[in-house]
Amino acid sequence: MRLYVDANFASPYALVAFVSLIEKGLEFEIETLDLAAHANHDPNFTRTSITRRIPTLIHDGFALSESSAICEYLDETFPGTRLYPADPRDRARARQIQAWVRSDLVPIRDERPTFVVFCGSMRPALSKRAREACDTLVSAALTLLEDRTDNLFGEWCIADVDLAMMLQRLVAHGDPMPQRLVDYATHQWHRSSVERWIHKRRPPLVEY
């Protein structure tokens, strides 16, 4: 089994694929691609990944891209830690959260890229659009957590990593955030599978 990730180990999508493999207790190799050098367009990779995107998982000759698809495939194929809740409604909500953080909150993703989290990059103050996106994020996160503090659904699931990753863009930069959400994001960041990604050795910062 092989997982293609970015050479900077900064992709939030590669993160959740990596964590999913670790949580399932699977053995796999990591292949890094230098996205700044457009290595994802190299013919050797384009023959592997239909969409030329990372992460891409290779399992027994089957190549799969898009992190949420990888998470679902691993959960449906292998035993081990459940990546999604057992309850159908909670499972649907987890998938909703994953889709939401990938498709919305663009100003936050633009102004607080993951280099802020993994490489200590600093950025200017948030724009009005980004602050409005932060308000949406905070309101939704507090509603989703309800009276829980550690995990979204009482037990850990992969959507906790997705949500914590979005929050960490702000927490790591020192932007204002309710303490409850800081505690939640910090708790997720201390999960051993997540820490294994955090502590990856990274090359000098090259943003793309």
The residue ranges of every structural domain in the chain are 2-81, 88-193
From 3.40.1260.10, 3.30.70.360, 3.40.30.10, 2.160.10.10, which CATH number describes the 2-81 domain?
3.40.30.10
H/E element holding 142?
Answer: helix 128-145
Strand order in the sheet with 56-59: 29-33, 2-6, 56-59, 62-65
- Average pLDDT over the chain reads 93
Residue 208 pLDDT level (bands cut at 50, 70, 90): very low
CATH fold match for the domains 2-81 and 88-193: no
| Confidence class for position 205, pLDDT limits 50, 70, 90 | low
pLDDT tens-digit series, residues 160-189: 999 999 999 999 999 999 999 999 999 999
Residue in this structure with the two tokens 């498709």, named with its chain if needed? 103
- Is the C-alpha dihedral spanning 88, 94, 99, 104 positive or negative? positive
The pLDDT value recorded for residue 83 is 98
Residue 165 · residue 101 · CB < 8 Å: yes
Instruction: Please name every residue paired with 58 in a beta bridge, in sequence order, or none if there are none.
Output: 2, 63
CA 57, 165, 97, 145 torsion: positive or negative?
A: positive
**Upper half-sphere CA count for residue 47 (Cβ side, 13 Å):** 4
pLDDT at 206: 53
Assign a CATH topology to domain 88-193: Glutathione S-transferase Yfyf (Class Pi); Chain A, domain 2 (1.20.1050)
